[in-house]
Amino acid sequence: PKLVRTAHLKEFKQTGRKFSCLTSYDHMTAGIFDEAGIDVILVGDSAADNSLGYSSTLPVTVDEMISFGRAVSTAVKRSLVVIDMPFGSYETGAADALANAIKMMKTSGAAAVKLEGGERSGAQIAAIVEAGIPVMGHVGFTPQSVNALGGFKVQGRGEGAEQLIADAKAVEAAGAFAVVLEMVPAEIAAQVTREISIPTIGIGAGPDTDGQILVWTDFAGLSAQKPRKFVKRYANIRETLLESARQYAAEVSNGEFPTQDHSFEN
Ligand code: KIV
Ligand code: NA
């Protein structure tokens, strides 16, 4: 498609065309990922740790998310831009969730919102969808609940499978157009993908979801930390930047840069 819309993702599921998603929080990378043909760009609240330096996703605000959303959406021509509703912007009830979703849609330039939680978020999802705003769900490991979940843990193992499936079905029933499955056993993710009609988007959920998503700083190798098991690094941007910055510093200090080529004449 010339412009990816939520309906295309459903078509992709029906025809078995797997689709790709990446996060972005800034104008430059969003433009690159759009040009590369990434189908969905998520303005993730992972911007909290990756761009703002917070120690979790919890502190990021609606207004901060809107700034990231504007930076991304103004660079994108084709990808579907989805923006995360941050912690605290929807848990207090459907009315608050709707008000914040409307604010984010009015000002961020995104085409859809995403929020975390299955059964517990059904009323919020339904209210936002009712207002004409497409919603992406997010179940399994939900980072905004990291303190309740006791850390970064695989969800839906063993007896947890039943709850995970119920959560995905609740998201579907509430009217969401797609659902992220984060850190769930591949077999359970495959089962959910078969049993619901909306597309599933996996991160640490194995190969059988309808789409895949990675956090861009993980996929590009920007972080100094060892990547988690489900991450594949497609580049080593941190190493490249580190080496480049060291070389620049050395060349400034020894007078190699700038040369006449970089200088203006009278
Ligand atoms: O904020 C984020 O990066 C996300 C993805 C991991 C799905 O929610
Ligand atoms: Na997120």
Assigned domain for 85 exists: yes
Alpha carbons within 13 A on the beta-carbon side of 219: 15
Q: DSSP strand E in the chain: where?
A: 19-23, 40-43, 80-84, 112-114, 135-140, 178-182, 200-203, 211-214
Is any atom of ligand 1 closer than 6 Å to the C-beta of 204? Answer: no
Q: In this structure, are 231 and 265 located in the same domain? A: no
84 is in an annotated binding site: yes
The span from the CA of 81 to the CA of 75, in Å, is 10
**Across the chain, which distance is largest between two alpha carbons, in Å?**
76
Among 31, 33, 34, 71, smallest CA distance to 51 is for 71
Query: Would you say residue 14 lies in a domain?
Result: yes
Judge if 156 and 181 occupy the same domain. Answer: yes
State the closest ligand 1 atom to the C-alpha of 47, by its place in the atom list counted from 1.
1
**pLDDT tens-digit map of 3-43:** 999 999 999 999 999 999 999 999 999 999 999 999 999 99
- Rg of the chain (C-alpha set): 20
What phi and psi values does residue 203 have, to the nearest 5 degrees?
-140, 110
Confidence of residue 202 (pLDDT cuts 50, 70, 90): very high
Residue 56: which residues within 8 A CB-CB, separation 6 or more? 48, 49, 143, 146
Question: Is any atom of ligand 1 closer than 6 Å to the C-beta of 23?
Answer: yes
pLDDT at 201 (0 to 100): 99
CA of 176 to the centre of ligand 2 (A): 16
Residues 190 and 261 in one domain: no
Let me know if residue 1 belongs to a domain. no
Residue of 38, 42, 136, 146 to test ligand 1 pocket, by largest number of atoms within 8 Å of CB = 42
**Active-site entry in 64, 182, 243, 251:** 182
**Could you report the per-residue pLDDT of 42-51, keeping only the tens digit for each?**
999 999 999 9
Instruction: Determine if ligand 1 sits within 6 Å of the CB of residue 180.
Output: yes
Residue range(s) defining the domain that contains residue 266: 237-266
Averaged pLDDT for residues 217-243: 96
CATH number at residue 192: 3.20.20.60
Q: Quick check: CB of 109 below 6 Å from ligand 1?
A: no
Residue % of the chain over a pLDDT of 90? 99
Number of structural domains in the chain: 2
Band of pLDDT at residue 241, cut at 50, 70 and 90 = very high
pTM of the entire structure? 0.98
Q: What distance in Å separates the CA atoms of residue 201 and residue 192, rounded to the nearest whole number?
A: 11
Q: What pLDDT, on a 0 to 100 scale, did the predictor assign at position 260?
A: 96
In this structure, the answer to whether residues 141 and 221 fall within a common structural domain is yes
Instruction: Answer yes or no: do 153 and 111 share one domain.
Output: yes
- In this structure, the answer to whether residues 110 and 213 fall within a common structural domain is yes
Q: Assess whether 243 carries a catalytic annotation.
A: no
Q: Which ligand has an atom closest to residue 46 CA?
A: 1
Same domain as 262, residue 204: no
Atom from ligand 1 closest to the CA of residue 116: 8
Q: Are residues 139 and 107 in the same domain?
A: yes
- Interval 57-61 mean pLDDT: 98
Tokens encoding 91 = 């848990």
pLDDT 10s digits, 105-156: 999 999 999 999 999 999 999 999 999 999 999 999 999 999 999 999 999 9
Do 131 and 179 lie in one domain? The reply is yes
User: 205-214, pLDDT tens digit by residue?
Assistant: 999 999 999 9
Please classify residue 186 by burial: count the beta carbons closer than 10 Å to its beta carbon, then call 0-12 exposed, 13-18 middle and 19+ buried.
middle
Residues 222 and 250 both lie in one domain: no
Confirm or reject: Cβ of 45 under 6 Å from ligand 1. yes
190 and 263 together in one domain: no
pLDDT, residue 220, reads: 98
- My answer on whether 253 and 195 are in the same domain is no
Strand partners, 65: none
* Average model confidence (pLDDT) across the chain: 98
Q: Is residue 205 a part of any domain in this protein? A: yes
